[in-house]
Amino acid sequence: MIRFNIGDEEEEWSMGAVTSKRSVLSRMLLYVCIGTADWIVFVALEARHNANYSGDPYWVVIILTALIIGASDRRLSHLRAPFLLIAPAILLSVWTAPQGDNDGLQILWPFVLFLFAFVAAGAHWIGSKIPGR
C-alpha cells in the first residue's frame, strides 16, 4: 500500500489501482495503434498511388471502430477514445494525405479530421448505449 499526502487530502494506492491505471494506459495505446492502422491501410497506402484519392472508406471505418469501442469499453470517455483513434491520422496527414491536384487543399486534412473526431465521439456514445455486458 502506497500513501500520498497532497495538502489536506490523502490517497491510498493499492496494487489493484496501479494495475487498473496500467490497464487504462494499455487500452489507450491500443486505440492509438488501431487508429494508426486504420489511417495507413485506408488512406495512406492508396494515396501513394492515386493522388486524387478521397479516403472515403476511412470515414466509414472510423465510425464503425468508434461504435465497436463504445460498445466494448464503456469506461473510457466519449471524447478521449475517438480522439485517440484520430490523433495519429491528424499527425500523419501532413505527410501521407492525398495531395489531389496540388491546389493546397491537402492542408485542410488535419482540420477536417479534428472536426470528424466529434462525429466519432457521437458514434462512441451511441456504441456505449448498445445493450451488452
pLDDT along the chain (133 residues), means of 10: 48 48 84 94 86 85 93 85 93 86 82 94 92 70
Determine the pLDDT at residue 23.
81
All three cell numbers of 100, joined, read 489531389
Which pLDDT score is estimated for 16?
46
- The pLDDT score that the predictor gives to residue 15 is 46
Which pTM does this prediction carry? Answer: 0.77
Please tell me the predicted confidence (pLDDT) of residue 133: 59
**CA nearest neighbour of 66 among 127, 4, 5:** 127
Q: Write down the domain spans for the chain.
A: 28-128
Please give the Cα distance from 92 to 40 (Å, whole number).
9
